Amino acid sequence: MPQVKVLTEFFDVPDSHKIDVWEKHGGYQAIRKVLKSMTPDEVIEEVKRSKLRGLGGAGFPTGVKWGFVPKDSEKPKYLVVNADEGEPGTFKDRHVIMNIPHSLLEGMMIASYAIGAHVAYIYIRGEYVHPARRLEEAIAEAKAKGYLGKGIFGTDYDLEVYIHRGAGAYICGEETALLNSLEGKKGWPRLKPPFPATVGAFQSPTVVNNVETLSYVPHIIARGADWFASLSEGTERCGGTRIFSVSGHVKRPGVYEAPLHTTLREIVYDFAGGIRGDKKLKAVIPGGSSCPVLKADEIDVRMCFDDLAKAGTMAGSGGVIVMDEDTCMFDTLRNIIHFYAHESCGQCTPCRQGTGWLVRIFDRIAEGRGMPGDVDNILEIAQNIMGRTICPLGDAAAMPVISFVTKFREEFEYHVREGRCDLEDRKQRVAMAS
């Protein structure tokens, strides 16, 4: 299975982050074409036909989202780039920003033109100090050439791009929390509707898109929607490639770009080199820590949004976390639930209380004080969070719990019953036998 590269191809080009190098490889031609010969509607249609889906987590068709922005609004419109990248297991946006910041900027120019925005923000997590600097440099380079600011590329279209640094809060990756944070407030998610397309940043129509999503846009315009859509074969509702972040017990953790018909097995074994120490695979989380886990025998699934949904999980942010046979599922899930409890903003009772109860039960079991009925209790608490919250973080906490406990139930029962990990016991048994 070969890798098909659209974005990562440029990662190997020396100094690919510099504007001159980017232009030598065809950069800033797509935006020129757009400004010279396409109407905003034509751009939106092209992106729709490309079957580009949002790569930040929810997978919403990008062109369709842009089409929701009202044309007749008196208010200014905004494009906001989500560079918060906080979902455990996800790191591809960092690589995109460091290697090809101009692909993102050009995508932002095209998207802004399509929705009629003259100001665009990049909301980047505060810990990304170097990536934020890289973006600042790229913006300065583009400004110096007249590609940003008043009358870009010699047209009468104005566009300013500003960087807004976050300050440490996973929840600000959720788009409405992000907008509150951009406005200088606590990062509390908003009730939807209204959706950001009508009431977003500063009460104005806003599109929020992920870094990687926007970075594909210049390539789609330059090479055509049909070319992009056809990169993924036999996937009806999604096209192109995406960058998978692969971490955990593999030989070669890193970023791998591939079409969406690629299977999870190919990503783990062909791209990432298989399991470290040639151990057996136990489980994989396919799209960042909030996605339901898959067992070793469930990885012959294609990585397209629809097939992963059919398999009972999600494509999410493309963060593939690989666990070998020596991984304790109880301990791993305990870590995940601590994360979501810590990151819950506390607005909704089911999320705040539910994650808190789960933490206390998991900690008690870890201390060897499990009680009969704990496993069923855990499942019930998780099920009671599902669908009862303002934002999807509640579900994000519940889904891994339900999938881990259902698929590896015996391991959880063992921890409750015996007050220790059966892996330790198993290792001892092996040692005695040999």
Partner 1 sequence: MSVEFSEKALEQLRELLGHYPDRQAAVIPALHLAQEEFGYITQEVEDYVAKLLEIPATDVHQVFTFYTMFRDRPVGKYHIKVCESVACHIMGSTNVLDYLRKKLGIDVGQTTPDGRFTLTTVECLGACEMAPMMQVNDDFYGPLDEKKLDEILESLE
Ligand X SMILES: Cc1cc2nc3c(=O)[nH]c(=O)nc-3n(C[C@H](O)[C@H](O)[C@H](O)COP(=O)(O)O)c2cc1C
3-state secondary structure of 189: coil
Applying the rule CB under 6 A, the residues between 334 and 353 that interact with ligand SF4 are 344-348, 351-352
The beta strand positions in 70-220, using DSSP E, are 78-83, 119-124, 160-165, 206-210
Least distance from ligand SF4 to the Cβ atom of residue 43, Å: 33
Contact with ligand X (CB under 6 A): which of 213, 289, 313, 347? 213
Q: Which stretch binds ligand X (CB under 6 A): 28-36, 246-254, 292-300, 388-396?
A: 388-396
Residues 6+ positions from 428 with CB-CB distance below 8 Å: none
* Token pair 């992000």 in the structure block, residue: 178
Applying CB under 6 A, among 273, 298, 392, 422 the residue interacting with ligand X is: 392
Examine residue 179 and tell whether it contacts ligand X (CB under 6 A): no
Binding test (CB under 8 A) with partner 1, winner from 61, 166, 196, 240: 166
Under rule CB under 8 A, which residues in 49-78 are in contact with partner 1? 76
Among 50, 181, 206, 209, binds ligand X (CB under 6 A): 209
| Total chain residues near ligand X (CB under 6 A) | 23
**Hey, what are 359's tokens?**
């933490």
Of the candidate spans 52-60, 88-96, 141-149, 380-388, the one that interacts with partner 1 by CB under 8 A turns out to be: 88-96
At 124, is the secondary structure helix, strand, or coil?
strand
3-state secondary structure of 83: strand
Q: How far apart (Å, rounded) are the C-alpha atoms in residues 73 and 275?
A: 54
Position 347 contacts ligand X (CB under 6 A): no
Cβ contacts of 410 within 8 Å, gap of 6 or more: none
Cβ contact 39:167 at 8 Å: no
Among 84, 257, 307, 411, binds ligand X (CB under 6 A): 84
Single out the residue of 50, 336, 35 nearest to residue 214, CA to CA: 50
In this structure, are residues 102 and 22 in contact, taking their beta carbons and an 8 Å threshold?
Answer: yes
CB 116 within 8 A of CB 69: yes
Q: Which amino acid is at 105?
A: L
Residue 58 interacts with which of ligand SF4, partner 1, ligand X, none, CB < 5 to 8 Å by class: ligand X
Instruction: Considering only the stretches 95-103, 221-229, 251-259, 386-394, report the one whose residues sit in contact with ligand SF4 under the rule CB under 6 A.
Output: 386-394
Tokens 């639930």 correspond to: 337
Of 51 and 77, which has the nearer Cβ to partner 1?
77
- Least distance (Å) from ligand X to the CB of residue 49? 17
* Closest approach of partner 1 to the CB of residue 366, in Å: 12
H-helix or E-strand spanning residue 178 = helix 175-182
Query: For partner 1, what does the binding mask look like between residues 221 and 260, x meaning CB under 8 A?
Result: ------------------------xxxxx---xxx-----
Pick from 131, 17, 29, 15: nearest CA to 81: 131
Q: Which two tokens stand for residue 83?
A: 């560079």
215 binds partner 1 per the rule CB under 8 A: no
CB of 345 to ligand SF4, least distance (A): 3
Buried b (16+ CB within 10 A) or exposed e, 35-55: beebebeebbbbbbbbbbbbb
Q: Which is nearer to ligand SF4, 190 or 415 (CB)?
A: 190
Asked if residue 369 binds partner 1 (CB under 8 A), the reply is no
Q: How far is CA 95 from the centre of its chain?
A: 13
| Binding segment (CB under 6 A) for ligand X, from list 30-38, 108-116, 204-212, 400-408 | 204-212
Instruction: Find the part of the chain contacting partner 1 (CB under 8 A) among 27-35, 50-58, 320-328, 406-414.
Output: 320-328
Listed residue (156, 54, 169) closest to 123, CA to CA:
169
Residues of the shown chain interacting with partner 1 in the complex, contacts defined by CB under 8 A = 76, 85-91, 93-94, 121, 125-130, 160, 162, 164-170, 181-187, 202, 245-249, 253-255, 285, 289, 319, 321, 323, 327, 331-332, 335-336, 339, 342-343
